[in-house]
Amino acid sequence: MIFWHLGLTVLIVRYVFRDPKMDLRWILVGSLLPDVIDKPVGSIFFHDTFGSHRLVAHAVVFPIVLLAIVMVSTRRDTARRRGAIAVVIGCFIHLLLDGVWTSPETFLWPFFGFEFPRVAGSEFGTLVRSMLASPMVWLGEGVGAAYLLYLWRRHLTAPGDLRRFAGDGRVALRRV
Ligand SMILES: [Zn+2]
């Protein structure tokens, strides 16, 4: 799912953090990052080995390690650190929206061992076909896309708005 993650992650971030300086560009990147990493590895290139589309990047240890790397490799109060932390936040919310706690062996990897549980139907073609056939997936995509459309209509339609957003990733917080 793509718009489900993009839209709902931005919505949650705006409600929870209420930070007018939040760089939503990096939130958007983080919101898809676990899938961008795990799906090619587990569903396409090494499907025979792993047999799952949810691997290390879907474990809670992933955003935690990422955050530790960010804290030691960036300086306080810099745009670089703010952007990197936004990626971590996006990743963390991705795990919540995936409901990964329903698979504790993945969510708490490597606590239960280094193997990831194999997931039936996680081969890429099968996965895409089953998603396209799922009304819940379409509903989620619709909700996410509708929120992004609302945000754009509400905050980014004046001349120059989109160019400014492309530069700083900020969207006014008058209303979520
Ligand atoms: Zn995912």
Q: Residues with beta carbon < 5 A to ion ligand 1? A: 34-35, 98
pLDDT at 173: 86
If you average pLDDT over every residue of the chain, what do you get?
94
Ligand 1 mean position, distance from CA 37 (Å): 9
CA–centroid distance, residue 155 to ligand 1 (Å):
28
Residues 108-114 have a mean pLDDT of: 91
Report pTM: 0.92
Span of 9-13, 72-76, 115-119 with lowest mean pLDDT? 115-119
User: How far does the centroid of ligand 1 lie from the alpha carbon of residue 158, in Å?
Assistant: 34
Q: Give the Å distance between the CA of 98 and the centre of ligand 1.
A: 6
19: left (phi over 0), alpha (psi -120 to 50) or beta: beta
Of the candidates 109, 93, 108, the residue with the CA atom closest to the CA atom of residue 144: 93
CA of 127 to the centre of ligand 1 (A): 12
The residue ranges of every structural domain in the chain are 3-168
Predicted pLDDT of residue 175:
55
Distance 148 CA to ligand 1 centre (A): 19
- Average pLDDT estimate for 43-59: 92
Residue 110 C-alpha to ligand 1 middle, in angstroms? 18
Query: What is the Å distance from ligand 1's center to 5 Cα?
Result: 9
Q: Which residues does 9 contact at the CB level (< 8 Å), separation at least 6?
A: 27, 28, 30, 31, 90, 93, 94, 97
40 CA → ligand 1 middle, Å: 12
* Residues 37, 42: Cα–Cα separation, whole Å: 9
